[in-house]
Amino acid sequence: MPLLTVIVPAYNCAGYIDECLGSVLEQLPADCELIVVDDGSTDGTANALAPYEAQDNVKVLYRGHGGASAARNAGLEAASGRYIAFIDCDDTMKPGFIAASRSLMEQDFDLCIFGIERVPLQGESELWTVEDASYPSTSAFADAYIRIRSLMVYSNCNKFYRKSIIDKLGLRFDEKVDFGEDRLFNYAFIRECGRIRTSSLIMLTYLQRSANSLSSRHVERYFERVLGLHEAKMECFLGLSRDATDEEKAEFRARDLAHEVQMTIDRFAAHPEERAENMPLIDTLNGSRERPADRLPGEGG
């Protein structure tokens, strides 16, 4: 059994898929595998992937276009590693990362969480990091998350997942959900975890190359859908918590909701057409239409 399977869904990325795969293969040991899933690309990605088929620890799968979730699920079906990692085709793995993180896999954690370097289309790069810490149970992790808030639970591209838990749950990405599916996958996985590790290692660089990213594309009923993800998050972490006080839980809920409201309002600069659709629900949560539209719950005056 390979120690690690790295799954890369690929769609219309002929111009940079070699950079992504090269960053993995240059450090991939013989006891790990790489699975690339071409999701019905129309730009020559399949031709770019063909040379990789001959490599011993690489599997290249071709399928009709079904979206990133369907491609990840196809990768999961073919994976045989003890741990699973996902990397998007516009990511590059940090040099030496697999060797640096190997000891964590050998310590049998159920979930390992790492940092990300994000490079936006414009502006400076950002490091999103977590501290080195071990949690003996999901309850301990949930209590820490309620209190700390910075444990990088959303993305699926900065984690090692124990595959036996995925198999036990029959866990897959919801192919009917086009944003937030990674959060839902993670919440379901975390509920079944035992030991969890966060690491200050930076796993990858995410370079936003496409206007198709969530921040760049229009999303129907955005805030209504965000509220659904917020409630799923509360159900997961408040349900797992054992030591957080009622006051800490209430603050966690209010803080997370205020954050989601602010993130939605921030979208309006790029998507002014979303304001009319989303503001009535935000105004309801703010408690009064008399208050300034961009004011968050609990903000001054």
pLDDT digits (tens, 9 = 90+) for 81-90: 999 999 999 9
Rounded Cα distance, 181 and 185, in Å: 6
Per-residue pLDDT tens digits for 201-226: 999 999 876 544 555 577 888 899 99
How is domain 4-207 classified at the CATH fold level?
Spore Coat Polysaccharide Biosynthesis Protein SpsA; Chain A (3.90.550)
Tokens coding 123: 């502006």
User: What letter represents residue 213's amino acid?
Assistant: S
Per-residue pLDDT tens digits for 1-55: 999 999 999 999 999 999 999 999 999 999 999 999 999 999 999 999 999 999 9
Q: Please check whether residue 105 is in contact with residue 171, taking contact to mean a CB–CB distance below 8 angstroms.
A: no
Tokens coding 275: 């304001």
Place of tokens 């594309």: 217
What are the sequence ranges of the domains in the chain? 4-207, 222-286
31 contacts: CB under 8 Å, gap ≥ 6: 2, 3
Tokens coding 59: 């599997």
pLDDT at residue 28, rounded to an integer = 98
Per-residue pLDDT band for 299 (boundaries 50, 70, 90) equals very low
296 pLDDT higher than 70: no
Per-residue pLDDT tens digits for 57-106: 999 999 999 999 999 999 999 999 999 999 999 999 999 999 999 999 99
Q: Specify the 3-state DSSP secondary structure of 226.
A: helix
Other CB atoms closer than 10 Å to residue 235's CB: what's the count?
A: 12
Rounded Cα distance, 175 and 111, in Å: 23
Q: Specify the 3-state DSSP secondary structure of 61.
A: strand
274 pLDDT higher than 80: yes
* Mean pLDDT across 186-193: 98
Tokens coding 182: 């990674």
Nearest to 11 by CA among 30, 37, 31: 37
Per-residue pLDDT band for 301 (boundaries 50, 70, 90) equals very low
pLDDT at residue 215, rounded to an integer = 56
